A and B are shown apart, each in its own frame.
Chain A
Amino acid sequence: QKEVEQDPGPLSVPEGAIVSLNCTYSNSAFQYFMWYRQYSRKGPELLMYTYSSGNKEDGRFTAQVDKSSKYISLFIRDSQPSDSATYLCAKGGDYGGSQGNLIFGKGTKLSVKP
């Protein structure tokens, strides 16, 4: 069983829609989660970083962590064509594992149509 599972998509939505991106994880020994955005042939860009259960909001982006169900989500409000990219979830800080070793999902490719 992979440690971080993410639906690869592709996901296509109209401009202005609310986008929901999701990941599940299998190992409870964690400390934190991250969401990255990666445009084609570019490096990943850190969007959100969260430690605990609950919601964290930053502009149009909301990250949600549910530790009881091992589920993490990223919501994008009022989506724009410029949001079209691949979104990567990652977890890290496993007890007993390497410090800083991030484990990534495969990414979900999002397309926002004007």
Chain B
Amino acid sequence: AQSVTQPDIHITVSEGASLELRCNYSYGATPYLFWYVQSPGQGLQLLLKYFSGDTLVQGIKGFEAEFKRSQSSFNLRKPSVHWSDAAEYFCAVGAGNAGNMLTFGGGTRLMVKP
């Protein structure tokens, strides 16, 4: 069975600083990988996804993630964080025919200092 680990429960960064959120997965085949963001009281919004091809994936809001098969990782990055990026971030691995049966990690809560 697949699993996802997000080692950092909370991260605090200063506005304008760079950000990296860690994600490690366990899956027996080539994974479908996703990053979602959840603001308080809101549903989940897809930031980016990896299905195949280029291992560096660009997403919305200036986010990118890099798939590293050798490390079973899919870390999320942003070069300069904005106060509006404060939210909870979830990494997920997809199973099923279309990779859309998602197993989520426990999430990382991002706080942004002014």
Q: Do A and B bind each other?
A: no
